[in-house]
Structure 1
Amino acid sequence: MLPRRLAAVLLSMALALLVAAAPEPPETPAVKKREAITTSNVAKLKTKWVFTATDDVQVTPAVRDGITYFSDYGGYVYAVKASTGALIWKGYVPDYTGSPNAIARTNPVVSGDLLILGDNHKIWKPHQGAHLFALNRWTGRLVWNTQVDAHEAAVITADPVVRGSRIYAGVSSIEEGYASSAGYKCCTFRGSVVSVDLRTGRLIWQTHTLPSRLVTACTATDCGYSGNAVWSKPVVDPATGTLYTATGNNYTVPESVEACVRKALEDKVSFDHCSDPENLQETVLALDLDTGRVKWSHRVSGYDAWIVACPEDPVSWCPDPGGEDFDFGSGPDLFRIHDKRGSRKVVGVGQKSGVYWAFDAKNGSLVWKTLVGPGSLYGGIMHGTTVDDKRIYMPIGNVDRKPYVLQPSGRTATAGSWSALDKNTGKILWQTADPGPRVPFDIGKPTVTGGVVFVGSQDPDKNNMYALDARTGKILWGFPSGGSVGRGPAVVDGTVYWGSGYTLAKILFGGASNNKLYAFSVNGR
């Protein structure tokens, strides 16, 4: 058994990278119409080709003009022939950004001749900030590289979004992991959303989730506010000129806030008033596309300050009380519902609490919310949900193995699962338990096409790539990829492109690493 200090350090590193290295929805749309793969033939999927990379393939590829683009945990970006898997070019992220040990964990985004990515880091030590960079997608040569945040713990976790001549992205960090070291000067990172010029990489605007006046490093007796990372992909509504995003937890807060929360808990009253109203932790935001101005905000929890090491291996700045670490770790969905008020747009978003929320897109008022499954530090709803014309699809991670009843079967589950909700009401339509017995941690945006829902499993003992019936949740196909799978695939022109391997799942839960990108088609043709 590992000594407690070593175990805490490993856990700190792993969880920080879990948050920092979590790709969000792919450039290739997750819901595609009129695809060749349907419920009637998905069981006939066979391997068409396999590409061997240098490390885990934890992203959903982008496919354009017969080329498949993806990155791996070894720090490489690849372009391969979509038909055969033959290598066209590969590039090394540290060469692009100038930051040693940099890797690209965002799903690649294609726009014209450009391939857009963001960087983060696999080595747990201060680095050269967070970068967005653009490559010539035909050659792999660097076009531009922009440092969007100079903080030594800053990273780009969520996929960039391209709209017109601009790129939009959230800025996250791994500082809550760095803060596990007593020698680190905790904590000064503040999350943000940035807009940059597509052609030049010039920073146009940056909106922070904390004002600078609230952020100060900890002293022997007190801390300022920090955290509120944006580690989920934003969604854009061009019709209203609005960007929607959601934020994470605080790392630290002032002692006065902690005292207020402790008193509220003692008195059994709400502590929502304890935090500064400009502290946008665990908040859904609507921003103006042109300026970054906040149009509205809806904070769902009044207090959630959390650092990886606390309370098992505490440092002097551990929050007291410690929060639940219920970030918004899944990008918002924008969709239209029909209810007693008529037709309207809503913003839906999953949280690590296990709750999926739906807000009115105009003003941020709550429309409905559904507890889909248990929440946890490493679970609930993470890394993406998908909406089609009827349903919302999502994974549930349940690393604490809390028992919960699946709907409508009534079966009790104690591990991960996949769910579908009615998008108008939030009612759970079906839930399917992950058949894998060992790793109770399901994450990643499902891919929906032809009535089929493709989902990944972290469990290495059985199949870890699955196809479900979108209407019923019945498992139609499974494949043992050899590694944990935490992302949905790209499905283009009758071919499924799917990466395998997740070292963090191996470190935390007994999952498996791998270095493969698979292409599947009906009968392997």
Structure 2
Amino acid sequence: MKSVFPALRRPLPLALLGLALFQAAPALADKLPDPAANKDSGVWTASSGSSPVFSPVNDQDAILAKQGAAIFAKACASCHDHPQGRIPPSNSLGFRSPESIVGVLTTGPMKPMAMLAGLNADDIRAVATHLTGRQPGTGPKPLPNLCTTPGAPVRIGPDDWPFLARDQSNSGHQSHPGIGAADLPRLKLKWAYAYPGGIGSEPIVAGGRVFTSTGTGDVVSLDAQTGCTRWTYATERSIRRVSVGAPASQPDQPLVFVGDTKGTVYAIDANTGTLRWKTEVEDHVLTRLTASPTLAGDRLFVPISSMEDPLTHDPDYPCCTFRGGVAAIDVTSGKLLWKTHTIAQTPKPTGKKSARGQPLSSPAGAAIWTPLAADVKRQVVYAATGESYDMDNPKGAYAIMAFDMATGAVRWQQSALPPAKVRDAECKARGEDTDCRNIFGFGSPPLLADLPDGRQLVMAGQKYGMVYALDPDRKGRIVWRNKIAYGGDVGGVMYGMASAGGQLYVPVGDVDALPGKNPGAVVKLNLANGRELWRTPAPPPHCSWGERGCHAAQSASVALLPDFAFVGSWDGHLRAYDNATGKILWDTDTAGKFPAVNGIDAEGGAVSGYAQAVVNGAVYVVSGAASQRRPGNALLVYTVDGK
């Protein structure tokens, strides 16, 4: 969005500002049609500018699209035409459904910006029509597809996939997948599900159910065998991640845990879909919970992030007041037990002004974008933090941190920010005129890995392309480091690594790779010393949707099985890599259209971010979870012979 803060000539606290705006503004979503599936109509045409052009299919759409183009140019283009960090480029927005555009601006992460820009429901509808070529609510809607027979009670088993990276350690390893390398040629699509309004979160598979969230903000429970819907729970905001678990004191009462884009955590009964409790963990107006909570015992640990970091590039924004953090919640009652910020100091006005005269505050930043790793043995949770929002380099940013489970005290932290001379040389080599320290933050969750001799290491993958091994028994002392990728603000080692048997498997998503260098790869490292055992470059990208947004970066989390590893790619392909040699054993394109169990087409796209859940011989793949490239709305389930 273009600057939406120039009218703020006094340093009003953002949390209070956001609260006042939320209370005073009309409910935009209530004025909009029901969300529909991601099914575009119309024809793409060439554009001399950076914004996409989609030819509307009728005069009414064309009139509204023209209005939306003017609104987009005034309120949105300055950021999306010149994207920084995680801001999606303009030419990727047209791949979304109009319903997902509306959702992002009315209940999703861009709601504060839309409200501060003064966009009403009609404005948002026009922008969505401009970007996608049709009005929201005019496409086919998914069917409820309710299950007709009662399901068995949910019981979470040892071979289920209840977390993003399968377990509390974020190992990404499934020791009993139910399939082997010999089964790969026979994998076929069993069923597909079309996410209403686009993809919300990854599939979590446990107790015979698939738990996930949709672009409309609904949390859904699907039958793992057929894809029929067991229940739906409507939240108040967008949901980006899901996890499931049973409290240690109530093992027969499994709960689904989600966090929204307003800082609220929900616990939902896994069997019935009824709300057990919801708790706000952060009230900053730009809070966004992007990582799933982690359950350990009777405590739920929640990482906290925000959407303030893209606004650090806006000279009209009074930067910055958000600090990342970790919160602990009693899982049986929903009571907030403690919250610890990654940066200990409270932000205060610095007396400095931005280029446009806005007041500046610090310290700020160090958001936690990815799940925590729970270390029950040492009674700590590990977090990987992002960049500082200013130039002060506060303690807690660019770091791996260990928080005491009982008190929230910081046991230790290890910074991964290189010295100033190294940073300056790196930025100069990359052609950056200003500090490029954002590449030194972490976009991959920490991983507690086991060595064959019984020792453990905390592994961390950095956007800079560096992989670190830290000793958890020596206050995070760095045991080894290995730079395996060129890196970048949205690149290097992103999302999830995987480990088993003293080996580490790392995806490389070098979006900013130098000319002639392969932007994607899978790398296997020796866990004990960091030595590279093999590296398999990504094949040249072949995208079924064409050249727009086609890329070979491999930014998806690794799903590691005994014989091979599944890794997705931005070109829409899912591949299986032989664990011993790195040879590609199997390759399938997930970016097509697939008839879905809920009555409309599921359409795939880039495979990014999420790992593939592998449970009882079935491979659950999310295709299209990508804001930077080709979005989609597909959950695809592959089994041997499709049975």
Q: Does 1:148 align with 2:148?
A: no
Determine the structure 1 residue equivalent to 2:416.
Answer: 300
Determine the structure 2 residue equivalent to 1:515.
Answer: 633
* Contact 1:55/1:514 (8 A) holds in 2: no
Determine the structure 2 residue equivalent to 1:125.
Answer: none
The amino acid that maps onto 1:377 is D
Determine the structure 2 residue equivalent to 1:336.
Answer: 450
1:353 Cα shift? 0.7
Q: Does 1:51 align with 2:204?
A: no
Distance 2:186 2:283 in 1: 49
* Contact 1:327/1:351 (8 A) holds in 2: yes
Q: Does 1:25 align with 2:165?
A: yes
Distance 1:115 1:154 in 2: 21
Q: Equivalent of 1:496, from 619, 623, 630?
A: 619
* Contact 1:235/1:332 (8 A) holds in 2: yes
Q: CA RMSD in A?
A: 2.9
Larger Rg: 2
Distance 2:642 2:615 in 1: 14
1:181 Cα shift? 4.0
Determine the structure 1 residue equivalent to 2:489.
Answer: 377
Matched ranges for 1:312-331 at <5 A: 321-331=435-445
More helix by share: 2
Matched ranges for 1:372-451 at <5 A: 372-402=484-514, 413-437=517-541, 438-451=550-563
Distance 1:469 1:108 in 2: 29
The amino acid that maps onto 2:606 is S
- The alignment covers a number of residue pairs equal to 457
Distance 2:267 2:433 in 1: 39
Give the structure-1-normalised TM-score. Answer: 0.80
Summarize the Cα distance change of 1:16–1:459 in structure 2 as closer, same or farther, 3 Å threshold. Answer: same
Determine the structure 2 residue equivalent to 1:171.
Answer: 304
Give the structure-2-normalised TM-score. Answer: 0.66
Matched ranges for 1:459-498 at <5 A: 459-460=571-572, 464-482=573-591, 483-486=605-608, 487-498=610-621
* Contact 1:54/1:73 (8 A) holds in 2: yes
Shifted more, 379-388 versus 29-38: the winner is: 29-38
Q: Deviations over 1:47-88 (max 9, x none)?
A: 111111214436432222211111133322221111111111
Determine the structure 2 residue equivalent to 1:37.
Answer: 179
Distance 1:380 1:62 in 2: 26
Matched ranges for 1:20-419 at <5 A: 24-26=164-166, 30-57=172-199, 59-94=201-236, 102-111=237-246, 112-120=253-261, 129-216=262-349, 219-220=352-353, 223-253=361-391, 257=392, 275-276=393-394, 279-301=395-417, 321-337=435-451, 343-363=454-474, 364-402=476-514, 413-419=517-523
* Contact 1:58/1:485 (8 A) holds in 2: no
Shifted more, 4-13 versus 55-64: the winner is: 4-13
1:232 Cα shift? 1.9
Q: Deviations over 1:480-523 (max 9, x none)?
A: 111111122111111111111134132xxxxx221111111111
1:10 Cα shift? 5.0
The amino acid that maps onto 2:256 is L
The amino acid that maps onto 1:249 is E
Distance 1:302 1:105 in 2: 31
For structure 1, the 5+ residue unaligned runs are: 95-101, 121-128, 258-274, 311-317, 404-411, 507-511
Summarize the Cα distance change of 1:281–1:160 in structure 2 as closer, same or farther, 3 Å threshold. Answer: same
Distance 1:325 1:432 in 2: 24
More strand by share: 1
Distance 1:73 1:186 in 2: 29
Q: Does 1:8 align with 2:79?
A: yes
Summarize the Cα distance change of 1:367–1:45 in structure 2 as closer, same or farther, 3 Å threshold. Answer: same
Summarize the Cα distance change of 1:455–1:88 in structure 2 as closer, same or farther, 3 Å threshold. Answer: same
* Contact 1:25/1:159 (8 A) holds in 2: no
- Taking every aligned residue pair, what percent have the same amino acid on both sides? 29
Determine the structure 1 residue equivalent to 2:115.
Answer: none
Classify the secondary structure of the residue corresponding to 2:480. Answer: strand
Summarize the Cα distance change of 1:319–1:27 in structure 2 as closer, same or farther, 3 Å threshold. Answer: farther
1:133 Cα shift? 0.9
Distance 1:188 1:480 in 2: 43
Distance 1:10 1:186 in 2: 21
Classify the secondary structure of the residue corresponding to 1:41. Answer: helix
1:466 Cα shift? 1.4
Distance 2:624 2:377 in 1: 39
